[in-house]
Amino acid sequence: MRKTAALIMTAVILLLYAIPVNAFTIIYDGKVEEYPWAPIVLVVDGHTVETEEMPPVILNGRTMVPAREFFEQLGAEVTWDNKAKRVYIEYDEETIILTINSRTVYIGSNSASISPADPAPKIINDKTMIPVRFVAEEFGFEVEWVNETRTVRITSPEAEDVRLTNVAFAKEEDADTIFIALDEFVNPNIFRMQEPDRIVIDIYGTESIINDGSIKADGQAVESVRYSQHPDRFRVVADLKADADYEVFKLRNGVEISIIRTGEYDYDEEATAPEDEIVEIPDEEVTIPDTDGKVVVVVDAGHGGNDPGAIYPAGSKNPEAIEKELTLDIARKVRDNLEEAGIYVVMTRDSDVYPTLKERAELANSINADLFVSVHINAMDNKDEIDGAQVYYHKDSYFGKKLAKLVQKNILSYTKLSDKQIQDGSSFYVLKHTKMPAILAECGFITNEGDRNYLKTEKGRQALANAISDGVLEALGLS
Ligand SMILES: [Zn+2]
């Protein structure tokens, strides 16, 4: 009986390989293709997860899953920003941001690259499809491909912590070796980061009994090794001084990472992958500044130079409050807060000058900023009773609206300003012509006495700046 069942199973599996039982049409990158492969099974912690709206598909040999349908079933929060063509996946206090057709991803405040082996996120049959392995592994899941059963086996981070007792470095003839001592083997999560070039080794589900520290390695490829306990993982970073590959060895009492020098450290050389590894990347970003792998936020102080914005009293030669001065001061405070939190900030102006609205939007687009935050003060002549804060967003940007809500909420709790509620500002130039999620915050009315007196105080402007920067950090999952 058993034997018969096994034989039937074998026959079924052979059939799966022999004929395309799953044939359906996939549409992506303007192409229409018959999808020829057999179905893929997704198993998470032993349970099969079905995606009904769109099955997983294999592209370039890698499994792509529908971002929302799949990762929501893992307990992640998934949001789609149609304006920026980005998907935000929040899981266990970490956010991964992926962009359609781009290999650059953000993990917390750091940027990383999807390896050439994995396809970039794509719209397939109108669904946002992302490489499941890359994303799940970044969240600390273990991902395994079981070819016999065409199963992607995903294991969530261990509930039971493994003791981590030592980190050691050895300079050997043919390689630099990092040894991480553990009570038992734990599969590390290793990835490369650039600027500076380094190999990052994350080990989840461990409890470290050693202090954070560093080793002056001076190996063939490794300059130094740093290690520290993070809330959810133990991180070991190998700072490189030459191009290198690495290999991971599973040990009974830990893990060994062998780092082998492959050449001098050279950016051009690194950028040139062997031909057969080059995968076409459409619409890859324009040159971006050296942002040290950080999230990039453009902070825009409204008006400036010959354009004072709103003034009070209107038409006065010697006004008591000028919008361009207030916005610049708040914007600088926002910048200081964000920079302190590890964000790369670019100001559209940092003095009394006037960039045009077009220049402001183009600046943000040209550096491929992640967020755009514009600071203004409202005015309503002859209606001095009107007061309050109001944050604007673009209707096509889910994330922009989320950010607007968070900043509005913070302004109400941090400041004396009243609630004029968030509003669709899709027609505003800087919201319409920026490619990334963007908000425009009207920080009260210069024409209202209460708001104006508040804005004239250092404390008031600082509170507004804190409300804005905290909203940004919260939206990015960094607070
Ligand atoms: Zn303004």
Question: How much distance in Å is there from the Cα of 71 to the middle of ligand 1?
Answer: 40
Amino acid at 462: Q
pLDDT at residue 4, rounded to an integer: 42
CATH class of 162-277: mainly beta
Can you tell me the distance from the alpha carbon of 121 to that of 29, in angstroms, rounded to the nearest whole number? 11
Question: How much distance in Å is there from the Cα of 303 to the middle of ligand 1?
Answer: 6
Q: What letter would DSSP give residue 196?
A: T
Question: How much distance in Å is there from the Cα of 307 to the middle of ligand 1?
Answer: 10
At the topology level, CATH places domain 37-155 in: Copper Amine Oxidase; Chain A, domain 1 (3.30.457)
Can you tell me the distance from the alpha carbon of 412 to that of 420, in angstroms, rounded to the nearest whole number? 10
pLDDT at residue 197, rounded to an integer: 86
Question: How much distance in Å is there from the Cα of 407 to the middle of ligand 1?
Answer: 17
pLDDT at residue 420, rounded to an integer: 94
Query: Please, where are the H alpha helices in 19-128?
Result: 67-73
Question: How much distance in Å is there from the Cα of 299 to the middle of ligand 1?
Answer: 14
Question: How much distance in Å is there from the Cα of 193 to the middle of ligand 1?
Answer: 40
Question: How much distance in Å is there from the Cα of 391 to the middle of ligand 1?
Answer: 12
Can you tell me the distance from the alpha carbon of 116 to that of 124, in angstroms, rounded to the nearest whole number? 19
Handedness of CA 354, 357, 362, 368 (dihedral sign): positive
Question: How much distance in Å is there from the Cα of 384 to the middle of ligand 1?
Answer: 17
The pTM for the full model equals 0.50
403: phi then psi, degrees, rounded to nearest 5 = -65, -45
Amino acid at 57: V
Question: How much distance in Å is there from the Cα of 379 to the middle of ligand 1?
Answer: 8
With beta carbons less than 8 A apart as the criterion, state whether 479 and 92 touch: no
Question: How much distance in Å is there from the Cα of 473 to the middle of ligand 1?
Answer: 24
Q: What is the CATH number of domain 296-475?
A: 3.40.630.40
Q: Over the stretch 135-191, which tens digit does the pLDDT of each residue have?
A: 998 888 888 777 666 778 888 875 456 789 899 998 877 789 999 998 877 777 777
Pairing of strands 213-215, 222-229: antiparallel
Per 3-state DSSP, what percentage of the chain is helix, strand, and coil (rounded to 5)?
25, 40, 40
Question: How much distance in Å is there from the Cα of 325 to the middle of ligand 1?
Answer: 11
Tokens at 247, concatenated: 């290999």
Question: How much distance in Å is there from the Cα of 455 to the middle of ligand 1?
Answer: 14
pLDDT at residue 269, rounded to an integer: 35
Question: How much distance in Å is there from the Cα of 86 to the middle of ligand 1?
Answer: 29
Tokens at 329, concatenated: 């001061």
Question: How much distance in Å is there from the Cα of 440 to the middle of ligand 1?
Answer: 9
Question: How much distance in Å is there from the Cα of 434 to the middle of ligand 1?
Answer: 17
172: phi then psi, degrees, rounded to nearest 5 = -110, 175
Amino acid at 409: K
CA distances from 311 to 55, 307, 354 (A): 58, 10, 16
With beta carbons less than 8 A apart as the criterion, state whether 293 and 194 touch: yes
Handedness of CA 324, 327, 332, 335 (dihedral sign): negative
Question: How much distance in Å is there from the Cα of 442 to the middle of ligand 1?
Answer: 7
Which strand (E) or helix (H) includes residue 177?
strand 176-182
Question: How much distance in Å is there from the Cα of 3 to the middle of ligand 1?
Answer: 78
Which strand (E) or helix (H) includes residue 365?
helix 357-366
Question: How much distance in Å is there from the Cα of 444 to the middle of ligand 1?
Answer: 11
pLDDT by 10s per residue, the chain, length 479: 444 444 444 434 433 343 334 467 889 888 888 877 778 888 776 567 888 888 899 887 789 999 998 998 888 999 999 999 999 999 888 899 999 999 999 987 788 888 877 889 999 999 999 999 999 988 888 887 776 667 788 888 754 567 898 999 988 777 899 999 988 777 777 778 887 889 988 887 678 888 888 898 888 899 999 998 876 678 999 999 888 888 888 777 888 899 988 876 443 333 333 333 333 333 333 344 566 667 899 999 999 998 899 999 988 889 999 999 999 999 999 999 999 998 999 999 999 999 999 999 999 998 888 899 999 999 988 888 999 999 999 988 888 998 999 999 999 999 999 999 999 999 899 999 998 899 999 999 999 999 999 999 999 999 999 999 999 999 887 77
323: phi then psi, degrees, rounded to nearest 5 = -55, -45
Can you tell me the distance from the alpha carbon of 473 to that of 67, in angstroms, rounded to the nearest whole number? 23
Question: How much distance in Å is there from the Cα of 180 to the middle of ligand 1?
Answer: 56
Question: How much distance in Å is there from the Cα of 354 to the middle of ligand 1?
Answer: 12
Residues in the chain: 479
Question: How much distance in Å is there from the Cα of 119 to the middle of ligand 1?
Answer: 43
With beta carbons less than 8 A apart as the criterion, state whether 95 and 105 touch: no
Question: How much distance in Å is there from the Cα of 300 to the middle of ligand 1?
Answer: 11
**Prior bond of 121 cis (ω within 30°):** no
Can you tell me the distance from the alpha carbon of 447 to that of 385, in angstroms, rounded to the nearest whole number? 8
pLDDT at residue 108, rounded to an integer: 78
Question: How much distance in Å is there from the Cα of 443 to the middle of ligand 1?
Answer: 10
Sequence ranges of the domains in the chain: 37-155, 162-277, 296-475
Question: How much distance in Å is there from the Cα of 166 to the middle of ligand 1?
Answer: 57
Question: How much distance in Å is there from the Cα of 376 to the middle of ligand 1?
Answer: 4
Count the Cβ atoms, other than its own, within 10 Å of residue 236. 23
With beta carbons less than 8 A apart as the criterion, state whether 439 and 304 touch: no
Tokens at 366, concatenated: 């040209």
Counting Cα atoms < 13 Å in the Cβ hemisphere of 43 gives 12
Question: How much distance in Å is there from the Cα of 330 to the middle of ligand 1?
Answer: 13
